[in-house]
Amino acid sequence: MTITLAFFTFACVLGISFGQLLFKKAAETLPAALSVTAFLHNGWLIAAFALYGVTTIAWVWVLRHAPLHLAYPFMGLAFLIVPTLAWVFLGEPLHWRTLAGGALIMAGVTLAATS
């Protein structure tokens, strides 16, 4: 996998990760009585869908140029990136077990990407 392709693959993972934060914000701002109008007027939800749409198009481009067995392990990085972003931007707790698991996932991604 080239550096450029690895960069775009990682950008997709970041897009998905930030999308998760947007979905969380959307969920927090929804009223107790859900309605179609509540969903349609939720800016966080619209932003999340837009980001996921762009990220999906980018992911299709990545898969056009990289074998799935090399590209997909990068998605495992989201298991570390999402909790870290939630800690930074949402004030959620970040436990050592999450970091340890993330380190193992990063080791696996590195192993898979170098094969």
Q: Where are the domains of the chain?
A: 3-113
Average pLDDT over residues 12-25: 96
Long-range contacts of 27-35 (CB under 8 A, 24+ apart): none
pLDDT in tens, 42-51: 999 999 999 9
pTM of the model: 0.84
pLDDT in tens, 73-114: 888 889 889 999 999 999 999 999 998 988 888 888 788 777
DSSP string of the chain?
--HHHHHHHHHHHHHHHHHHHHHHHHHHHS-SS--HHHHHT-HHHHHHHHHHHHHHHHHHHHHHHS-HHHHGGGGGGHHHHHHHHHHHHH-----HHHHHHHHHHHHHHHHHHT-
